[in-house]
Amino acid sequence: MKNLNSVFAAYMIGWTVFFVYYISIARRTSVLREDIERLKNSLSRGK
């Protein structure tokens, strides 16, 4: 099957891009959640 490797390469690259993006959103969300908690705590301490 000629070019089968290219087809697999295209699909691997495509799915990797989607997966990395999904992970990046999850990471950014978790960092932001920690920041919000930290700020909420310092805000309640300040009141």
CB of 40 to other proteins, least distance (A): 6
CB of 15 to other proteins, least distance (A): 9
C-alpha dihedral (40, 41, 43, 47), degrees to nearest 10: 130
CB of 42 to other proteins, least distance (A): 7
Give the C-alpha distances (Å, rounded to integers) separating 11 from 5, 6, 23: 10, 9, 18
The interface with other proteins within residues 18-47 (CB under 8 A) comprises 18, 21-22, 25-26, 28-29, 32-33, 35-36, 39-40, 42-43, 46-47
